[in-house]
Structure 1
Amino acid sequence: MQPDGRVSKAAVAWYSGLGRMRFFHDRQARREPLKAQPKTRKMRILELSARAVSENSISQRMCFACGGPPSTGAGEHVIPKWLQHKFNLFNERLTLLNGTLIPYRNLTVPCCEACNNGFLSQIENAVQPIIERGTVETQDEKLLLGRWLSKILIGFLVKETGLLLDRKRPDSGPMVPAQFIEELQHCHFVLQSARKPTTFRCLHGNLPFHCIFTKSPIPEEIKSSTSRQTFSDSP
C-alpha cells in the first residue's frame, strides 16, 4: 500500500499468487452460531484459522487472528505504529476501496489480547530489522515478511467489512462482504504459521507464495523525512 492509499504491484502479485491456494474445511461449521470454546481444550491451528475467517466471526467483530472474543482496547493496528512513526504516517490518510479517506492511526481491527501481545507482536519484532535494513537475505526472512504481509492484507479487508460502501446509503452494505474473508483462509494460514514451527512443501518452491519486489516512487514529503529504502533479494 502506497502512502496515498494506492495498492502497489507487489501487493497485487502477492494476493494473486496466494489466490491459487485453498484449504478445505467444514463449511457447515462456519454457518453455525459461534460457540465458546472450552478453556481446557487447545484449538488446532487450522481450526483457529477457519474460525477466524468465518462469516460469523467477521460479522460479529471477533478477533481477526483467532476468531475469539476481542479485547476492549483499540485492537490491532493494521499498519504497525512503529512503521507509522518511521515514515511519518500517523497523521496521514489513505484511500479505501470506496474512495473515502481514513487516517493510518485509525486503521485497526478487532483483536484479542493474547494474539495482540503474543504471536502478532512476535511477527512485528521479527520483521522490523528486515524493514530497517531494506533487504531480504534468507528463506526464513521471506517467510517472516510473508506472514507480516498476510496480516496487513487480511487486516485491510477485515476493516472494510465494517465500513459502509456508501455512508449516505446505509442499505448499500459494507465495502467488502464478510463472507469474502473466507476466501483468504490460505493467506490466513500463512499468518498462523507463526504460532508454531511449520514446514511448507509446495510444487513451486519451499513457500506457499512468491515475494516480488518492485521500486515505487516515494512522495517528496516522505523523502525529506526519511532515507529511501528499496527491498531486494540478496544473491
Structure 2
Amino acid sequence: MQQQNLTLFDPFEGMRFGNRICFLCGTGISLDHQTPVFPAWLMEEYGFGELPLRLLDQSVVAHQDLKIPCCPHCQAHHLAPLEEKMRQAVKGGVAALRELDEQLLFQWLGKMFYGTLITELIKEQDPLIKPEYAVSEQPKMLMKFQAFYRVLQSLRVPMQFADFIPCSLFIVEVDASAEPSRFEYRDELSTMMFSLRLDNALIICCLLDNGIIQQSMHRVWAEIEPRVLQPIQAAEFSARVFYSGYLFNVIPDYLLRPVKPTDDHVVMDSLIDDITNVIFNPWDSSAYAKMLAMYWARWGITAQDILRDPQEPMSMLFSPEGEFIQFPQIPGLEK
C-alpha cells in the first residue's frame, strides 16, 4: 500500500483531463467534487472573487467560479493543510513568507497556475471560440507542462528534490502606503511565470527553471531583497523577471529514482540539456521595453520613453552608473 502511495500520476499520458477526474491523483469523481483554483480565504481577504478572468477561448469567468476537479481525500489531506499554512504566512507579511519552505510556496503558486492551465485544457475540448494557439496542439508546451506536473506531484506524494528547487522565487517588499492597491495577479502560461501582490508583499515566480533565473539575477536580487521598493520599482523588477522567463530556452527534465518497498518518500533528480540548447536567448532591449511599458502603463510611460537612450533603457531601480535609486523621479510627476 505504501508503494502505491508513492506512485506518480501523469494526466498528460493520454491527455486525461476532465471534470470527472481528480487533478491531483487521477481518481474518478463526481461533478460536485471541485475545489477553487484561487483559495476562498484569499479571495475573501483581498476581494477579487467576483472580478472577471478572460480565458484563451475568450470566455469570461469570475475568479470565484474558476474550479478544478479534486477528490475529497486530496482536498482534506493535501490542499487544506497547505492553504492553512499559507494563510498564516500571508498574515505574517514579507518576513513570514520569506521564512517559508520554498517547496511549500512553489506548491501553492503551482496549484493556482496549474488550475488555470487545466481549465484551459478542459475548455479546449468544447471552446467558445477556438484559440489561435491551442495549448493541446503545441508539443513543446505540453512537454513543459508535463515536466512541471511531475514536480507538482510533491503536493500529494512526499518528494525530495535532490539538489535543486524547481522554481525561481522572489519575495519583494513594496511600500504599500504609496499605492492603495492591495492585490495584483499576473500569470503567463507559455513562460510559466506567476506573480501575486498581497499588500506589501510581491511574490514573483518562474515555476519551471530550477532556480536558474534567480542565479542569473543574483547581483540585482542581492541589492533589491533588503530594500522596500516603490510600486514603480516593484513593477520594473517584475518586468525584468518576467522578461528573463521569456528568454529562458530550456525545459528541465525530471527523473524519479527507483522506489524501494521501505521508502516513505520519493527522490527527484533533474537534468538540463545545456549542450544542445542555449539556456537564455539574447537580450533584446526593444522587446524588453515593450514588456516594461505594459508594467508601467499606469504611470503613462511608453516603450518610446523607455528607449530614449537605446543603449541604456530607462530604469527606476538603478542609475546609469549602477547605483540603486532611493527616490525615483517618475516622468510627468517631477516637482
Q: Calculate the TM-score normalised by the size of structure 2.
A: 0.46
| Pairwise CA distance, 1:92 | 1.4
Amino acid at match of 1:159: T
| Aligned-partner Cα distance in 2 for 1:107–1:217 | 31
2:147 matches 1:186: yes
Determine the structure 2 residue equivalent to 1:96: 55
Partner of 1:102, secondary structure, is strand
Counterparts in 2 of 1:216 and 1:77: CA distance versus 1, 3 Å: farther
Comparing 93-102 with 152-161, greater Cα deviation is found at: 93-102
From 53, 75, 83, the equivalent of 1:124 is 83
2:211 matches 1:211: no
The runs of 5 or more residues in structure 1 that have no matched partner are 1-39
| Pairwise CA distance, 1:49 | 2.9
8 Å CA contact 2:57–2:123 kept in 1: the answer is no
Determine the structure 2 residue equivalent to 1:157: 117
Length, aligned pairs only: 185
2:8 matches 1:48: yes
| Aligned-partner Cα distance in 2 for 1:112–1:174 | 31
Q: Max radius of gyration: which structure? A: 2
| Pairwise CA distance, 1:181 | 5.1
Determine the structure 2 residue equivalent to 1:80: 39
Determine the structure 2 residue equivalent to 1:37: none
8 Å CA contact 1:130–1:141 kept in 2: the answer is no
More helix by share: 1
Partner of 2:9, secondary structure, is helix
Counterparts in 2 of 1:162 and 1:146: CA distance versus 1, 3 Å: same
Asked which structure has the greater RCO (Cα within 8 Å, sep 6+), the reply is 1
Partner of 2:103, secondary structure, is helix
Amino acid at match of 2:115: G
| Aligned-partner Cα distance in 1 for 2:67–2:182 | 23
| Aligned-partner Cα distance in 2 for 1:200–1:132 | 28
Q: Calculate the TM-score normalised by the size of structure 1.
A: 0.63
| Pairwise CA distance, 1:82 | 0.7
| Pairwise CA distance, 1:66 | 0.9
| Pairwise CA distance, 1:106 | 1.0
Counterparts in 2 of 1:60 and 1:96: CA distance versus 1, 3 Å: closer
8 Å CA contact 1:63–1:70 kept in 2: the answer is yes
> Percent same amino acid among aligned pairs?
22
More strand by share: 2
Determine the structure 1 residue equivalent to 2:257: none
The runs of 5 or more residues in structure 2 that have no matched partner are 184-197, 204-224, 228-335
Determine the structure 2 residue equivalent to 1:230: 201
